[in-house]
């Protein structure tokens, strides 16, 4: 779709068409599923309609049958009927009128229910039948109503006297001058006499009415309905007649028809609907053809709509792509329009962010440069606070300023670069001070400085608020980062020009922090007391003599006293440093000549470390370390002098006690009151060999003399101080090269 300079190998229109096609595919798939399921749907709908119609027939027919059964129940308990059943042939003539009334009563019941064709009662005692129209003996009644070749008189009489008659059964009956099987309702009446029922009630059903009922139901075109009994014989159907030679099994096995059935609630009958398959498939084909046509139309219209909207939606994208630079053609072939737009937008955003970040860094550099000029007094005097704040984007609110200088102590927990340490301190302190006053940080010759613009409404409490913020920051930074720092602050100055003065005040307070040994010093708290230099020659001689004696405790007490005096007098920084250097010089003079070339002493560089101290506690610690090192060297020299003959004494002691089995370096050190290591060191300096080796050689020499006199090895080992002969043999062989036994043989 793109032309000329804008060509993409993977155009977004392809993705759009695919996505639209997927959306279109969903209803198409649903329609295909419906198309595939059309046969089942039509079949289900026909069966559902047939079931509904069967329920309608069932409701009507069952209602009529229920009324018929109620009528039979009423007649079974009717007084006139019961009287008739009790009559026998002796008293029949006496009750002729009663029989007549019963006949009239049956006529009334018959006229009230058109679902039955008639009512007759068979009396076993009289062997006669009473109907709603006649009264005749059984044979005459049989010949008039039931006589046929398939249904004999004996069969009919057996049915009338059978106490287990079915409610509904199929009996041949003469109707309209022809015999046909008729469904009748039978019911045994009264009790039994001699194993025979007293009477039987028979009510033939009105087959025409049932036939008319079935024909008037709104059946599916060409559909049929059947009523079958428990023997699966067709009783009624809507195609005419009250019987059929077709059985229920034949209906079920008919593959050309769809069959649905439902059971009666009152009888053992079953209502069956039969729908020709040809009609079903005709309907199914019509619906499937409609679905297929609908699918084709949907695909055609959907394809056209897809193309139209893809073109229409692409126009804004094409206009947007044309805004951005074309870039490399090779890269376009690997992306679509959206990816190209996204890449171009992200590039523009990054460039904007880089430019903004660069401007922010430039602004911070300019602000830092301007603040440095203010601290050094190089600002233009004509510039007002408002103009300076506007030009350099400072959020100053008043003309009152103070300067804070931060000294960062080296971290003992974490080795953080100085720049990172300053960044941590400046950000945290700024966040806390900015709650009340505006503050800006800058670096002045490697020193972290802050210019505090005091809020006009907090002129009386600005010092307390600043101290509180810095204390909170100090506690947090020390716990979180292991950093400690000290702060010196100036007095309040009321102009831009006064910032330089405040900076000088803060510098002076920063130097005086050494005197107070505190974490926060205000310039206003400094009270300099110019005093004479009091470290006299006499005091130097006294300290010299104490160090010369090696008494570290007494020397440290004197040094602490002099440090306290110089700091308590609040002398100037120059005088304090001069005193501390003199004090260190006095100590250094007492270092023995032979120890001055010691490599360890050169590595310590005590004077250099002393000059790098910035607090009173640091000065004292360095002086005490120098004093302790000097006293140790002096004591070593004194100890070596006092033990100059110790080597000879140890040698004499070994020669005198060599036979002692407990003789050892530890025993000798304990005897002379020095450590085993020290006595070994002194003896080696004296004799040129180790003390343990000298003891072994002395014992071996004495053993040789005993062996020369003929003493045994065990006796000799015991006399020269060995705990066992094996130990003696091992040591003897070490120094003589042969065993004691071999030595005796040679001798």
CA-CA distance, 313 to 667, in Å (whole number)? 105
- pLDDT single digits (tens) 171-227: 887 766 666 778 888 888 866 555 556 788 888 888 778 777 777 765 555 677 888
Provide the H-helix boundaries in 709-739. Answer: 713-719, 725-736
CB-CB contact of 341 with 314 (8 Å): no
Give residue 245's pLDDT band: very low, low, confident or very high (50, 70, 90): very low
Average pLDDT, the chain: 77
- Give the residue among 264, 269, 278, 263 at the shortest CA–CA distance from 223: 278
The CA distances from residue 525 to 314, 493, 508, 511, in Å, are: 77, 16, 11, 13
CA-CA distance, 710 to 724, in Å (whole number)? 19
CA-CA distance, 72 to 184, in Å (whole number)? 12
CA-CA distance, 472 to 87, in Å (whole number)? 126
First to last CA, the chain: 121
Could you tell me what percent of the chain has a pLDDT over 90?
A: 0
The conformation of residue 393, written as its DSSP 8-state character, comes to T
Mean pLDDT of all residues in 522-530: 65
Mean pLDDT of all residues in 386-393: 70
DSSP 63-100: HHHHHHHHHHHHHHT-HHHHHHHH--SSSTGGGHHHHH
The contacts of residue 476 (CB under 8 Å, 6+ apart) are 428
> Which strands form 270-276's sheet, in the order they lie side by side?
234-237, 224-228, 270-276, 257-263
Helix (H) and strand (E) counts in the chain: 28, 15
Rounded (to 5) percent helix, strand, coil in the chain: 60, 15, 25
| Residues forming beta bridges with residue 633, ordered by sequence position | none
Mean pLDDT of all residues in 431-442: 88
Mean pLDDT of all residues in 405-431: 78
Residue 698 has pLDDT above 80, yes or no: yes
The contacts of residue 516 (CB under 8 Å, 6+ apart) are 616
Kindly report the number of other CB atoms within 10 A of residue 13's CB atom: 20
Give residue 596's pLDDT band: very low, low, confident or very high (50, 70, 90): low
| pTM greater than the 0.85 cutoff | no
Provide the H-helix boundaries in 606-658. Answer: 606-611, 616-642, 646-657
Please say whether the dihedral angle defined by the alpha carbons of residues 214, 219, 222 and 223, taken in this order, is positive or negative.
negative
Q: At what angle do helices 537-549 and 573-589 cross, to 10 degrees?
A: 40
> What was the pLDDT predicted at 354?
81
């Amino acid at each position: 779709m793109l032309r000329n300079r804008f060509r993409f190998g993977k155009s977004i229109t392809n993705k759009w068409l695919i996505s639209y096609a997927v959306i279109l595919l969903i209803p198409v798939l649903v329609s295909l599923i419906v198309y595939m399921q059309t046969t089942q749907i039509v079949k289900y709908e026909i069966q559902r309609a047939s079931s509904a119609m069967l329920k309608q027939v069932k409701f009507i027919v069952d209602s009529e049958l229920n009324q018929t059964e109620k009528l039979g129940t009423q007649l079974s308990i009717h007084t006139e009927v019961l009287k008739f059943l009790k009559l026998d042939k002796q008293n029949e003539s006496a009750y002729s009128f009663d029989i007549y009334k019963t006949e009239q009563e049956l006529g009334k019941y018959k006229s009230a229910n058109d679902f039955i064709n008639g009512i007759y009662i068979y009396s076993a005692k009289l062997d006669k039948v009473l109907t709603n129209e006649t009264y005749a003996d059984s044979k005459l009644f049989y010949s008039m109503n039931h006589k046929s070749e398939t249904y004999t008189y004996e069969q009919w009489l057996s049915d009338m006297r059978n106490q287990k008659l079915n409610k509904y059964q199929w009996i041949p009956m003469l109707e309209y001058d022809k015999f046909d099987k008729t469904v009748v309702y039978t019911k045994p009446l009264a009790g039994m006499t001699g194993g025979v029922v007293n009477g039987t009630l028979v009510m033939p059903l009105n087959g025409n009415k049932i036939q008319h009922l079935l024909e008037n139901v709104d059946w599916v075109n060409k559909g049929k309905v059947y009523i079958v009994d428990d023997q699966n014989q067709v009783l009624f159907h809507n195609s005419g007649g009250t019987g059929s030679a077709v059985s229920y099994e034949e209906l079920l096995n008919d593959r050309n028809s769809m069959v649905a059935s439902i059971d009666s609630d009152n009888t053992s009958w079953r209502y069956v609907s039969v729908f020709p398959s040809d009609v079903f498939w005709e309907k199914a084909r019509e619906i499937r053809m409609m679905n297929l046509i609908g699918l084709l139309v949907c695909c055609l219209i959907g394809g056209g709509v897809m193309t139209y909207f893809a073109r229409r939606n692409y126009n804004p994208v094409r206009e947007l792509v044309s805004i951005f630079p074309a870039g490399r053609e090779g890269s376009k072939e690997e992306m679509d329009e959206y990816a190209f737009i996204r890449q171009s937008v992200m590039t523009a955003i990054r460039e904007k962010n880089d430019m903004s970040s660069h401007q922010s860094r430039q602004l911070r550099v300019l602000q830092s440069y301007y603040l440095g000029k203010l601290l050094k007094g190089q600002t233009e005097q004509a510039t007002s606070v408002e103009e300076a704040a506007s030009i350099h984007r400072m959020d100053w609110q008043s003309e009152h300023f103070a300067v804070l200088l931060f000294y960062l102590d080296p971290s003992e927990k974490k080795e953080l670069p100085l720049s990172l340490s300053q960044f941590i301190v400046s950000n945290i302190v700024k966040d806390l001070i900015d709650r009340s006053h505006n503050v800006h940080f800058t670096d002045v010759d490697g020193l972290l400085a802050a210019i505090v613009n005091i809020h006009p409404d907090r002129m009386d409490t600005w010092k307390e608020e600043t101290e509180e913020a810095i204390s909170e920051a100090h506690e947090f930074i020390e716990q979180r980062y292991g950093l400690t720092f000290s702060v010196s602050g100036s007095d309040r100055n009321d102009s831009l020009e006064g910032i330089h003065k405040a900076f000088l005040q803060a510098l002076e307070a920063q130097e005086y922090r050494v005197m107070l040994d505190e974490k926060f010093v205000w310039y206003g708290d400094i009270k300099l007391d110019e005093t004479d230099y009091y470290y006299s020659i006499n005091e130097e001689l006294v300290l010299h003599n104490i160090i010369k004696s090696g008494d570290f405790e007494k020397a440290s007490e004197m040094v602490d006293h002099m440090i306290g005096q110089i700091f308590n007098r609040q002398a100037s920084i120059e005088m304090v440093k001069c005193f501390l250097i003199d004090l260190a010089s006095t100590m250094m003079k007492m270092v023995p000549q032979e120890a001055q070339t010691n490599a360890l002493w050169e590595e310590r560089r005590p004077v250099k470390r002393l000059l790098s101290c910035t607090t009173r506690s640091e000065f004292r610690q360095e002086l005490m370390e120098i004093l302790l090192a000097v006293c140790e060297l002096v004591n070593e020299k004194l100890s070596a002098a006092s033990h100059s003959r110790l080597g000879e004494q140890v040698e004499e002691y070994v020669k005198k006690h060599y036979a002692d089995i407990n003789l050892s370096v530890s025993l000798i050190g304990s005897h002379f009151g020095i450590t085993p290591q020290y006595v070994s060191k002194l003896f080696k300096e004296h004799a040129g060999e180790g003390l343990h080796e000298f003891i072994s050689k002395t014992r071996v020499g004495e053993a040789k003399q005993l062996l020369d006199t003929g003493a045994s090895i065990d006796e000799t080992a015991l006399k020269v101080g060995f705990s066992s002969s094996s130990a003696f043999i091992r040591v003897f062989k070490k120094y003589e090269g042969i065993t004691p036994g071999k030595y005796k043989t040679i001798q």
